[in-house]
Each structure stands twice: as structure tokens, then as C-alpha cells.
Chain A
């Protein structure tokens, strides 16, 4: 089955700087790559997703890039703010509505 890995496991950034989280996946059939944000004690919520026919997608301060050849995709957060502090999960899906999640990345924005 699909195996998704996230790096680094923890990331600390100064407020205003950019944060980048990278995920790799194993199944070349995967074609859907969402990112979920989970604040402390809350439910995971979708923040952005990308499909395999697109190389990059942007929504305000967040963007996701996909490299299908290398089987990796990344989340980019620009001008980080304290409310960006959370655990971010990447996932990969094959179109059958079953997602494989990474272990999560703790992002800490230092004011």
C-alpha cells in the first residue's frame, strides 16, 4: 500500500519567515495530495490540496508544489504568523477515497 513520509518532524520558524514541509510518497498511482492542519486539541482540517495534473497551487499565504517524477510534494507557508503553529499532515490518495497520511509535522512559529 501507499507509504507517506514527512520531513522534518518538527520545524521552528521566526514569525514572518517562511516554512516548508516536504512529503514523499511511494505509490505512483496516487493522484490526490491534501494537507490538513490540526491545532492543539482540535480536529484536523483541510487547508489545501493538489491533484496530479497540476504542479503548483496557491491560496493566499500557503502553497503546495508537486513533483510526480520524484514522488514528493511540499507545503509552503509564507509570512508565518503565530496562528500557523499547529501539526500539519500530508496525505496521498489513489482516487478510491482512501488516503494514507504522514505522521505529521509540528510547526512552531516564534513571535
Chain B
């Protein structure tokens, strides 16, 4: 079946502009995650959605970052007033609503802030 889909695959933006990154999780997966991966670095947790519960936003690095998940499916990560240090690959993952079920990652959005 279809996996996790992210768009755009690449995004180049000027410093100070806002960007929106989109994630379509696997159908039926109620848990959705956003991670950030900088060059040569690990996976930095950003935010976690689980069903209708309040999201876990504890990983968002600043108030310029926000995310929504509408209808329990598609999610949008928004970065306002982008900075050069925001340049990274933003990975979305989804999983079943089950204790410690595996994460299925999308291909990510490579964001470059110039």
C-alpha cells in the first residue's frame, strides 16, 4: 500500500520567509511524528500527534515552529520567519495506535534557507 507521503521533496526559501511542509500518513495510522535531521546528525524529535489528544510539542525548537493535523490525517509543519539554521531534512513518520508500534517514515522534505 501507499507509504507516508511528504511534499515538497525539496524547498529553497529566503531567510525570513514562511514555509509549510506537508505530510500524508499511512491510512489508518493515528500517530504522526515530525523529526528534523540536520546534515550528518541524528533524528531530532519535533512534535507528536496521537488521535484527538493534545499534541506533544515539547520538541519544537522555537515559537517560529508550529504544526497542525486536520481531521486526524494530513499534517502541516509551518516554520515562520525562517533562519539559515532551519536548513535540514524534515521527516514525517506515522504508526498504528498501538503500544510501541514501528514508525514508518516518509522521504522527507529537504529545506534550504538562503
Contacts and interface: CB of A to CB of B under 8 A. Distances in A.
Interface of A: 31-32, 34, 36, 42-46, 49, 51, 89, 93, 95, 97-104
Interface residues of B, number: 21
Contacts of B107: 42-43
A59 B95 CA distance: 22
In terms of DSSP, what is the predominant structure of the interface of chain A?
A: strand
- Which 7 pairs across A and B sit closest by C-beta, in order of nearness? A103-B42, A32-B100, A101-B43, A43-B105, A46-B102, A44-B105, A104-B42
B103 interface: yes
A45 B93 CA distance: 10
Interface in B12-53: 31, 35, 41-43, 45, 48, 50
Contacts of A51: 100
A31 to B, nearest CB: 7
Contact of A98 (B42, B43, B48, B102): B48
Interface in B64-114: 91, 95, 99-108
Contacts of B42: 89, 101-104
